Amino acid sequence: MQDFFGKDLLDHFEALNLEQLNWLERRSYTLNCNWKVFVDNYLDGGYHVPHLHRGLNSVLDYGNYTIATGERFCLQSSPIVSTVGDGKTREVRKGTPAFYYWIYPNFMINLYAGVMDTNLVIPRGVDRTEVIFDYYFADISDREKQQNLASIALSEQIQAEDVAICESVQRGLASRSYLAGRLSVRREAGEHLFHKLLYADLKAGLSG
């Protein structure tokens, strides 16, 4: 496991006490975009959050959003401002900070206080992607059922917003006027790591 994840990532996980979380359910989503578009969207350093995810942005301290990279992972994190923001979002996104892990090439972990969802991104074609969400909670008893379902509903809302932007980006990539731009040094360190690792694997595959 250490050979795949790396000691730096395993050290992160040990501090999170993930064994205290319990699996509740799985949901699957299909997007009309290439899988790399979905990963790029996830790794943009929160750049799209204020514009696309208004509810989530209302409880994130975006001014203190941070991005850190390891050998094969990226961690984006933000403090949560629990006294302001959208009431419905505030109820199911409590505590501080929020952690967003991406593990090369296609796995994400979104972690809040007592709440986690994992995202497995599976290519289903050149312009088709399946994302499998697994939802975990500290308490899955009947007394927390409505709260947990509200958390999943918020996650689905965010996913629907991401589907719209990813499919729009996919259409834009097909435009004859599309030109690749430079990555943001401040915001897109994770995206740069993804591109670098993927390039190395593709090059090695071609050489083989």
- Average pLDDT of the chain, as a whole number: 85
| DSSP states of the chain | -HHHH-HHHHHHHHTTTGGG-EEEEEEEEEESS-HHHHHHHHTSTTTTHHHH-HHHHTTB-GGG-EEEE-SSEEEEEE-B-TTSS-HHHHHHS-SS-EEEEEETTTEEEEEETTEEEEEEEEEEETTEEEEEEEEEES--SGGGHHHHHHHHHHHHHHHHHHHHHHHHHHHHHTSTT----PPPTTT-HHHHHHHHHHHHHHHHHHH-
Angle (nearest 5°) at CA 171 between 167 and 177: 145
Residue 91 clears pLDDT 60, i.e. is over it: no
In contact, 135 and 109? CB cutoff 8 Å? no
The token duo for 118 is: 């994992």
pLDDT of the residue at 17: 81
In contact, 35 and 128? CB cutoff 8 Å? no
Q: pLDDT tens across 140-196, in order? A: 999 999 999 998 998 898 888 889 999 999 999 988 888 888 877 778 899 999 999
Other beta carbons within 10 Å of 159? 17
Q: Alpha-carbon distance 166 to 36, whole Å?
A: 10
Q: pLDDT tens across 49-71, in order? A: 666 666 665 667 778 889 999 98
Residue 208 clears pLDDT 80, i.e. is over it: no
Of 14, 37, 12, which is closest to residue 167 (Cα–Cα)? 37
